[in-house]
Amino acid sequence: MRLLEVSDLTVSFPTPDGLVQAVRGLSFGLDAGQTLGIVGESGSGKSVSTQTIAGLTRGARVTGTALFDGEDLLAMDAHRLRGILGGQIAMIFQDPLSSLHPYYRIGWQIVEMIREHTPCSRREATGRAIELLGLVGIPEPEQRIRDYPHQFSGGMRQRVMIAMALALHPRLLVADEPTTALDVTVQAQILELMQDLQRRFGIAIILITHDLGVVAGMADEVLVMYAGRAMEHSPRRDLYYRPHHPYTVGLLDSLPEGGDPGERLRPIPGQPPSMIDPPSGCPFHPRCGFAMDRCAVEAPPLRPVPGAVGTHGSACWLPLSLLGRDGVADRRAQYAAAHRSAQVVR
């Protein structure tokens, strides 16, 4: 049995302008000790999907199931869900300064969180807090535990959030854009820290990001989302070397490459759709250079890609035999050929 199994998750928000369809029929799974990267542009539904699983989208209309160790998180009462979120599922958000209370010292916040979920004395909880700060690389934790959040740098505050997340030995860590606000060097340190802690404690990780480069060296599997749907789901290596969906290829093409410093970036043309009135058929077809008539009226399912190692699915009507193998130029040539023979679909 998988640690987490999400099936047909749908999340929508009533607004004065209409119903925002944030997540539409999303399914994915995660094993203990595994890392799943969820990537996509802003507004693709990455954060909403995981926040809904954690019960953080009050007022939303939610359907589907999210089985954690066999129990449906979406059907639990508030008391039971709070116990699981405190002890077995932990979350790290993008901006640690908004998650840490500016009025209280760092140590007080960690200690109160530990004592809320664990029967222990304040002395015991303080010792645990000092141990955790040292574990995540905070120097002189015995002194820094008395500091306030504003006395820490952005990278140090994110380390504090990781320490708080690990305080109760969770089985699943959800990291929502944990390195976006950090410079490249600190970003690499935080990701390396997360990997090291995962190896030590066997924690499963969901890493949410808009940057495929962030998950390149960390994720076991990658889920690409667009307009609330899964576009492609694949083992990491297949996604980078044998991508199929044009949106995935567009994200890969958008990554800056080494070499000529004057080379221009290649952004995906157009804008993500409004989720109050998403396009019919494949949601990416208005921005896709390879769209067929079928794409505008019929949403493709996530179809298995032949020859993949592990599970590789793509929600695209292009022939599944057309996969990039030798870099961006080769992928573009293959997709152009597929577009010319668009009516012959596997």
Rounded to 5 degrees, φ, ψ at 229 are -120, 160
Where residue 208 falls (left for φ over 0; alpha for ψ -120 to 50; beta otherwise) is beta
- Do 239 and 248 meet the contact criterion of CB atoms below 8 Å apart? yes
Mean pLDDT over the full length of the chain: 87
Burial of 268-286, coded b for 16+ CB within 10 Å and e otherwise, reads beeebbebeebbebbbbbb
- Per-residue model confidence (pLDDT) at position 107: 94
Residue ranges of domains in the chain: 4-221, 238-257+276-340
- Do 271 and 265 meet the contact criterion of CB atoms below 8 Å apart? no
| 138 token code pair | 């905070």
d(CA 165, CA 167): 6
Cα angle: 41, vertex 177, 155; to 5 degrees: 140
DSSP type of residue 173: E
Confidence of residue 262 (pLDDT cuts 50, 70, 90): low
Decide: helix, strand or coil at residue 43: coil
Rounded to 5 degrees, φ, ψ at 321 are -75, -15
Q: Each residue of 90-120: pLDDT tens digit?
A: 998 887 777 889 999 999 999 998 988 888 9
Which class is domain 4-221?
alpha beta
> Among 164-178, 279-293, 295-309, where is mean pLDDT lowest?
295-309
- Do 225 and 36 meet the contact criterion of CB atoms below 8 Å apart? no
d(CA 166, CA 173): 8
- Do 248 and 323 meet the contact criterion of CB atoms below 8 Å apart? no
Q: Each residue of 130-180: pLDDT tens digit?
A: 999 998 989 999 999 999 999 998 888 989 988 988 888 899 999 998 887
Q: What is the secondary structure of 284-339 as a DSSP string?
A: TGGG-TT--GGGGT-PPP-EEPTT-SS--EE--SS-TT----S-HHHHHHHHHHHH
- Do 214 and 7 meet the contact criterion of CB atoms below 8 Å apart? no
Confidence of residue 330 (pLDDT cuts 50, 70, 90): low
Q: What is the secondary structure of 65-108 as a DSSP string?
A: EEEETTEEGGGS-HHHHHHHHHHTEEEE-S-HHHHS-TTS-HHH
